[in-house]
Structure formats: C-alpha cells, structure tokens
Amino acid sequence: MSAAMHSTQSGFARALLDPAQACPGGLHTWNGSDPARRFAVYRNNVTVSLVDALADTFPVCSALVGEPFFRAMARVFVAERPPQSRVLAFYGRDFPAFVEDFPPAASVPYLADVARLEMMRQEACHAADVEPLAAEVIAGLLAAPAQLPALRIHAHPSVAVLNSRYAVHSLWAAHQGEGELAAVAPMLAQAVMVLRVGLDVHSIVLARGIGVFIEQFIQGAELVVAQQAATASDPDFDLVTALGSLLHWQIITALRTGDDDHEHTD
C-alpha cells in the first residue's frame, strides 16, 4: 500500500468516527447525490452498530444507568477508541477502564467493575476448550508434600477472577432474575470467579482469600506465593478448601512442579 493511499484511508477512518470532521474530499456517489449526506448516513450507521455491539456485551451496565445514558457514553467510547479488530465479540475490552475514568459515571462507582464482570463472561464464552487434568494425577501430586511449595497450577482458559470492592455478582445476578435489585447492598466487596463448563458460563461468588489464591496462580505464581497472598488478604483462608474448590469445578488443566520441564497434563 502506498503512503498516499494509507493517508487517505486513515483520514477516512478518522472522519468516520468523528462527527466534528468534514466529509473527506474526493468522494463520489454513483447517482450524483451529495457525498456529504451519504457519508453522514454511513457514519451514523457505523457508530450505531458499534454502540449496539457494546450494548450486547454490557447489558447489565446499560440497565444500571439506563439506555439513553449508556448509549451516549458508548458513543464517546466509540469515537475515542475505535475497534482494532474485525471481531466485534471482543470489542470493549478496555470499556471498563474507560467507564472508570468517565466523569458523568462517577455517581455509579461500581459500574466499571460490573463492566469487567460482563467482559469476563464474554471472554469465557469464547475461550479455548481444554480438558481438565485427571483427578488421580492431581491427587498424586498433592500427596507429595515436598513438591507443593513450587507447584504451579494452570487454569482452564475461561477462568478469570474479579476481586471487587463492590457487590458486582449480586448486581449482575439481580438482573438475571436472581434476587431483587433493591435488596442488594452495592458497596459490599465481592470476589467472583467466571468459568465455562461445557457451553455454559458460570459466575461464582468466592471467599476473598480463595479469589486472591486463584488470581495468583492464574498469573503464574507458585502455590506457596499464592497461599501467602491469600492469607494476607483473608486470615481465614484455608488451603484445603481452596484446592477443593478447584477440584470441584475441574478448572485445573496442568500442574508444573519446579522446572517447566516437569509438566503434568494427563
């Protein structure tokens, strides 16, 4: 692609998402109609389709603030952060961070974390399929105390944890018909794990320590480091209970002991 063509395309893209910019020069229509009017219609259709994609991914956020506010906020986001991929399923990965810094949304402090939970569920839905590690393999490794401190646990690709200062799961669940929204105390902290089992995406409330523990090993920490972080966040953290939760949900897909050469995947 020539530099001139790249410049033309970049200018077209900028004008497409910025209503303040004039219609790009050099445009022609097949029937002789006004190019500026046709471009304005196209610009609006593109913006609306991107706003619709965000509304599909973040329906609870939209419900919490009302559709008019959400769509106005989403339009600002679209103008500032256009998609970088053709796959719209993942458009909005940085929307929660945008919401957190969006001044008009400051009166709803939990909105950004609700958006994070909804994006986690979207990511989990499209995560790769990986078979869980056989229970007998896990049991064998856990029965070798000398290996435990350096053990690294690999979780299913769909697993993610949100340790929030707000009752994000309760807010989300109330919009799924699980409880009354008026009964939710939004300023209570909650840890939530998201994972996919088969085709179903689950959101599970965790004790804070277990949430920190899982978050640590998702980031690659050794078991002893994850345990220390979990205990620091929650003095009542119990390692046996935490490992039992992992086994119950079958989210362990591999275990590494010491060097990366010693990986157990079956």
Residues 157-188: tens digit of each pLDDT: 999 999 999 999 999 999 998 888 989 999 99
State residue 79's pLDDT score.
87
Locate 160 and state its tokens.
């993610």
Q: How far apart are CA 40 and CA 34, in angstroms?
A: 10
Mean pLDDT of 238-242: 91
- Model confidence at 200: pLDDT above 60: yes
pTM of the model: 0.84
- Mean pLDDT over residues 14-28, rounded? 60
- 249 residue type, one letter: W
DSSP state of 186: T
Does pLDDT of 193 surpass 70?
yes
What mean pLDDT value characterizes the chain? 85
Q: Give, in order, the Cα–Cα distances in Å from 184 to each of 167, 174, 203, 232.
A: 8, 8, 17, 28
How far CA 206 is from CA of 62, 75, 116, 153, 203, in Å, comes to 25, 35, 16, 18, 10
Domain boundaries of the chain, sorted by first residue: 1-108, 128-266
HSE of 178 in the Cβ direction (CA atoms, 13 Å)? 8
Confidence band of 8 (pLDDT split at 50, 70, 90)? very low
Per-residue pLDDT at 7 = 47
Q: Which residue has better confidence, 240 or 231?
A: 231
